[in-house]
Structure 1
Amino acid sequence: MPQLFKHIWRNPDKAEPHRVVAMVTDSHDEVKCKDAARGAPTTIDKALERKLLWKLDLRVIPILWILFLVAFFDRSNIGNAKIAGMTEALQMKGNDYNIAVTIFTVAYVVFGMPANLLVKKFGPRTLTVYMFCWGMVTLGQGLTKTTAGLVACRFLMGVFEAGFVPGCAYLIGCYYKRHEYLRRYAVFFSANMAAGAFNGLFSTLLHRLHGRAGLDAWQWIFIMEAIITFAMSIAGWFLIVPFPEQATFLTASEKALLLARLEEDGGSVRNDEISFRRVLPMAADWKIWICVLAYMAAEETASSLVAFQPTILRDLGWTAVSAQWHTVPVYATAFVLTLSSAWLSDVLGHRYLFTIFGSCAIIVGWSIELVQVPAAGVRYAGMFFVSTGAFINMSTLVVWLCTNMEKGVKRTVAMGLLTGFGNCGAFVSGNVFIAEQSPRYPVGFGVGLAFGCAGLVVESVYFACLWRENRRRDRLQSSWRDGNDSGRGEQKRMEDLGEAHPEFRFQL
């Protein structure tokens, strides 16, 4: 065990010798790529590389952040609509609300991987088509008159949203190296925290429209956000970037540099075949499913916040409007700490300890809620812990798995399965906050605590397995090199192994 932690800060993000790319610039500012294995010097124009990264950061991330902000508005507004009078207007009884929350997850899990493969096949603009479709469904939620209508809309929303987050994660990973990825993904993922904060504020403002045009406040929440969704999906069609090989927003030299950087980092975005015969064994990779379990543990907490935080805060004695306002600081704090964690994780080239920090924060937060401290302020503080821990873990786990997968169909499959089946945690959270147990919710808080502990264990197992595999490859590396056929056919075959290549090292 001491030897295990001796290597805990090891950064495996080193170019693999068989893929190292040398880069030079001539007087015409053209980038030439040479195979370092043939003896070319490995030099990179750092100034040009910094310029490229700035351009990518301004073109790739902001539009995805805005689209995800709107997406999370649409996903989480049901919790705001609930305390704005939706349950009374639709005559919802018992666990009708829990069913409406859960049915979204059913569709999200089932359609996660297929929807993400469609993004891989037809390109990133598919994401905006999904958005326009779920905007129509959001509008339907505001106009429905029955509980059955609400449930049907929530199912369709799950269908259309299923491919959005994994598709965005895949697109971002196509443009950046492994040690650059988490910071960018965390910025993208921070949109859900910003949405959680602003959604409470926005919903509070929409309360003032109660009665206008014969519509209740809860209906205006859905309708106004549907209008915003329509507008942003249309704008996104023109602004979202394509995959790197079709990146027309880059100059020829910038595009060559981008593709060379990706090759240096372990392969460019592969246009490999999508078929059931190939996808099935990819989906059986143990690394995917152990990360699914860890993501599920964090998702259980995150979905509890989305669906029930306004209700929990109102049960502390605040009015509906005051409860909406009090969600803002919770998400704002998680926003800052998640971005800070991502930055430090990328600088150190390490993921494991940050997921442990997140799981510990979840455990502390739910423990505070479970012991039922009488003071509302102390219980409110517990919400800060659970939100911070959940969002740190969800963003880190996506990148941790993604950087340990080959670029191409397998990474697409992994992202679809992770965010799809990982959302099974919402099945649990949607059914453990029982209305009759308000305001104590012993089952809801206890289950959240159990999932936090489970996440801690699973993350440790994942780290230990990756560390052991890296050590095994270190021991076998020299013998593999001695017996390796250096012919081009054999070299191409070895490169197609992706993360199974003997010189690939998993990121810890």
Structure 2
Amino acid sequence: MSEKNTAEETTKSSYEHELSEQNVVPRYITKLDFRLIPVLGVTYTILFLDRTNIANARIEGLEDGLNMPANGFNTSLWIFFIPFVLIEIPSNMIMALPRVKPNIFLGINMIILGIISTCQGLTHTYGGLLALRFLMGIFEATLPAGAAFLIGEYYTRREASLRFALFFTFGVLGPAISGLLAFAIRNMNGIQGKEGWRWIFIIEGILTIFISFFVFLFVPDFPEKTKILSPAEKEHLLEKLHSDKGDQKLDIRSVNWVKVLSDYKIWFPTLMFFCCDMTAASMSSFIPTILTELGWKAARAQVMSIPIWLTGIVFQLFGSWVSGRVGWRFPFVLLGITIVLVGWIIQMVYSERKGLAAGIRYFSLYCMSGGTFLQMAMATAWMTNNLRGRASTAVGTAIILGLGNCANFVATNVFIKAEAPFYPTGFRTGLGLTIAGAMFCLIFVALLWWHNQKLDSKRREVGGEDDQKEYKYQY
């Protein structure tokens, strides 16, 4: 070893010892957790609020209030996702530009989203609702993808799993909060001459505007520009990220976009996310039916939907904590798929039965929620664990949360209102896509294993020297 390398190692060792003595490492990671996860997580909560509050409004009379056609509700769901899917990749590319500050970019989009969301409660026509849903898709697309992108930039591969689980937990809170808010807001029916379903949109839109100010104040810049850490903390963070992920290309303007967009390490997790999101998107279609079959009226139905989503939180957090400890992702994805399969099979077997069938179907919703949200956190963490460079992370997080959410197009069209409450088309599609998710997971593991075997063989040939341009992928 050269004298220069020896000196560098000595300096690094003493520097890390100094940080350890000052207890800097755990302190600044905790600081990052509290600064990043809550405020960015809320942006994902907003996505799920906007996705589920229209279902709550439906229970309270949205369709009759706007004289919607038979397929009008489904149309109002899928029209949102057209711009949502198209905007996410260019949105993250804009956010990654050197002069763009994440807090300004995300904050402005969130204010506009809140205004549009509020206007849903003020429109008096079905066409007006469709136009507002389309505009919401544009501005909402920037939030979850941008938030996941920023989180992926701050944490090592070992740390990312639990942080993404915490981030997605805020998403699961969306439906739970939506049901609780809808239960409370429905009592505002008649205030200012407006129906209760209108107040659901108005109050939650105003809430979005309020939260946007916290985005402006608390969302930090990217790690190399951050001002929320001390110089010693920032230097240690950048060194740790470099050691874990290697050289990161920070300037996206000189990137081979064909290589980035064709990376299988992005597309297989996206396909897995798509398959599991089919379940999450489908649940909002038949939860009201199951709750009605149990004899619960609108008020109680709003409340009884909450524990279903809370189950997803428990599975997600516990699974991701264990995953971070053992350093594996795919066993947890397969576990989530197995649990969801139980839910889909129950739906298919018991949908046409009477008596206790409704209670058993209600239990299946807990299986579907727990297994689905466990997969979402794992798939996203698994993807970012195996990507290098800001461009890849920006595109990857945009694709997985954009195209992965295309399952909503499928869900809104296979759950046909005329087939309620049995939904044979929807249940068979959901079951088939869940099985497909298992196949994508196994193929992805095989490809990663093949890469690692080739890399091990190559390193043995050159005497075990580490190539900084290549690294082993995580399972």
Q: Which TM-score applies when normalising by structure 1?
A: 0.86
Structure 2 Cα separation of the partners of residues 131 and 333 of structure 1: 28
CA contact (8 A) 2:41 2:147 kept: no
Report the equivalent of 1:73. 49
CA contact (8 A) 1:21 1:264 kept: no
Q: Given the alignment, which residue of 335, 347, 350 partners 2:313?
A: 335
Deviation of 1:164 (Å): 1.6
Deviation of 1:56 (Å): 1.4
Deviation of 1:115 (Å): 1.2
Distance 1:349 1:21, change over 3 A: farther
CA contact (8 A) 1:21 1:260 kept: no
Higher helix share: 2
**Paired AA for residue 391 in structure 2:** V
Deviation of 1:322 (Å): 1.7
Structure 2 Cα separation of the partners of residues 239 and 196 of structure 1: 25
Report the equivalent of 1:159. 138
CA contact (8 A) 1:273 1:409 kept: yes
Report the equivalent of 1:60. 36
Distance 1:22 1:64, change over 3 A: farther
SS of corresponding position for 1:187: helix
Q: Given the alignment, which residue of 157, 178, 183 partners 1:178?
A: 157
Q: Given the alignment, which residue of 360, 365, 370 partners 2:338?
A: 360
Q: Given the alignment, which residue of 413, 416, 438 partners 2:395?
A: 413
Matches within 5 A, 1:8-407: 23-25=12-14, 47-121=23-97, 122-125=100-103, 126-267=105-246, 270-274=249-253, 278-372=256-350, 373-374=353-354, 375=356, 376-407=358-389
SS of corresponding position for 2:251: coil
SS of corresponding position for 1:59: helix
CA contact (8 A) 2:115 2:205 kept: yes
CA contact (8 A) 1:166 1:416 kept: yes
**Paired residues, number:** 461
Matching of residue 478 in structure 1 with residue 445 in structure 2 = no
**Paired AA for residue 183 in structure 1:** L
CA contact (8 A) 1:352 1:459 kept: yes
Structure 2 Cα separation of the partners of residues 81 and 480 of structure 1: 64
Deviation of 1:256 (Å): 0.9
Structure 1 Cα separation of the partners of residues 9 and 269 of structure 2: 29
Q: State the Cα deviation string for residues 264-306 of structure 1 (Å, max 9, x = none).
A: 112365422336x722331011222222211110111111224
**Paired AA for residue 176 in structure 1:** Y
Distance 1:214 1:238, change over 3 A: same
CA contact (8 A) 2:49 2:178 kept: yes
Deviation of 1:209 (Å): 0.2
Structure 2 Cα separation of the partners of residues 467 and 212 of structure 1: 61
CA contact (8 A) 2:152 2:393 kept: no
Distance 1:468 1:441, change over 3 A: same
**Paired AA for residue 329 in structure 1:** P
Report the equivalent of 1:434. 416
Q: State the Cα deviation string for residues 67-119 of structure 1 (Å, max 9, x = none).
A: 33233222321111111100111111221111111111111111121111122
**Paired AA for residue 23 in structure 1:** K
Structure 2 unmatched runs, 5+ = 1-7
**Paired AA for residue 166 in structure 1:** A
**Paired AA for residue 162 in structure 1:** A
CA contact (8 A) 1:25 1:45 kept: no
Structure 2 Cα separation of the partners of residues 55 and 25 of structure 1: 23
Distance 1:253 1:482, change over 3 A: closer
Deviation of 1:362 (Å): 1.2
Q: State the Cα deviation string for residues 319-378 of structure 1 (Å, max 9, x = none).
A: 122211111110111111110000000100000010001111111101111112532211
Matches within 5 A, 1:448-467: 448-467=430-449
Structure 2 Cα separation of the partners of residues 159 and 26 of structure 1: 46
Structure 2 Cα separation of the partners of residues 160 and 268 of structure 1: 32
Report the equivalent of 2:4. none
Distance 1:438 1:307, change over 3 A: closer
CA contact (8 A) 1:142 1:220 kept: yes
Deviation of 1:474 (Å): 0.6
Structure 2 Cα separation of the partners of residues 86 and 168 of structure 1: 31
Distance 1:265 1:335, change over 3 A: same
CA contact (8 A) 1:20 1:264 kept: no
Distance 1:364 1:480, change over 3 A: same
**Paired AA for residue 175 in structure 1:** Y
Matches within 5 A, 1:494-505: 495=468, 501-502=469-470, 504-505=471-472
Deviates more, 1:147-156 or 1:332-341: 147-156
Deviation of 1:145 (Å): 1.2
SS of corresponding position for 2:253: coil
Q: CA RMSD in A?
A: 2.2
Deviates more, 1:239-248 or 1:222-231: 239-248
Q: Which TM-score applies when normalising by structure 2?
A: 0.92
Deviation of 1:20 (Å): 9.5
Structure 1 Cα separation of the partners of residues 384 and 56 of structure 2: 33
Question: Identity percentage over the alignment?
Answer: 34
SS of corresponding position for 2:23: helix
Structure 2 Cα separation of the partners of residues 448 and 120 of structure 1: 35
CA contact (8 A) 1:315 1:438 kept: no
CA contact (8 A) 2:87 2:142 kept: yes
Structure 1 Cα separation of the partners of residues 301 and 72 of structure 2: 22
SS of corresponding position for 2:404: helix
Structure 2 Cα separation of the partners of residues 211 and 421 of structure 1: 40
CA contact (8 A) 1:405 1:411 kept: yes
Distance 1:438 1:46, change over 3 A: farther
Deviation of 1:482 (Å): 7.7
Structure 1 unmatched runs, 5+ = 1-18, 32-43, 485-493, 496-500
